[in-house]
A = this chain, B = another copy of it.
Amino acid sequence: METPVTVATATTTETLALTIQQVAQQTGLSIDTLRYYERIGLLESVGRNSGGHRRYTAHDLDWIKLLLRLRDTGMPRAQMVRFAQLRRQGDATLTERRLMLEDHQRALEQRLEQLHQHMAALQQKIARLKAREAEHG
């Protein structure tokens, strides 16, 4: 009645069941953060073993990795929660999810442009400082 998996060695079934510690190591998130994400609805429905301990599937891991990308590219938390909800609803929401990602992609493109502008301005600023250094002695 318990998945007989010890430390990431899926012996019998193919549905590997990682402990929270293992997921923390693989994602770079802390254990507390993983639990926190679950609390706020970014990561619902993580399964438990008979003792109530979390067991993460490969599917969970995939989702976490996408989540991190979205977070790192500045997607607002509310949107990520929304996306998580859609994902739980299955294939019927495929299109809506794609549209969300495309929106986000456009936002990211704008952000990239802005950052490139900042980069150019920094370059100029550095050049001007250099000039002043030279004439200053």
Which residues of A line the B interface, CB within 8 A?
A: 66, 69, 72-73, 91, 94-95, 97-98, 101-102, 104-105, 108-109, 111-112, 114-116, 118-119, 121-123, 125-126, 129-130, 132-133, 136
Does B133 contact A95, Cβ atoms closer than 8 Å? yes
CB within 8 A of A136: which of B94, B119, B122?
A: B94
Distance to closest chain B CB from A112 (angstroms): 6
Q: List 15 A-B contacts (CB under 8 A).
A: A69-B122, A72-B114, A72-B118, A97-B129, A98-B126, A98-B130, A98-B133, A101-B122, A102-B126, A105-B123, A108-B115, A108-B119, A109-B119, A112-B112, A112-B116
CB within 8 A of A105: which of B114, B126, B136?
A: B126
Distance to closest chain B CB from A122 (angstroms): 5
Q: Give the complex CA separation of A130 and B105 in angstroms.
A: 15
Q: Quick one: copies of this chain in the complex?
A: 2
User: A69-B122, A108-B118 provided; 14 other pairs, C-beta below 8 A?
Assistant: A72-B115, A72-B118, A73-B115, A73-B122, A91-B136, A94-B133, A95-B133, A101-B122, A101-B125, A105-B119, A105-B122, A105-B123, A108-B115, A112-B116
Question: In the complex, what residue of chain B is closest to A73 when comparing beta carbons?
Answer: B118
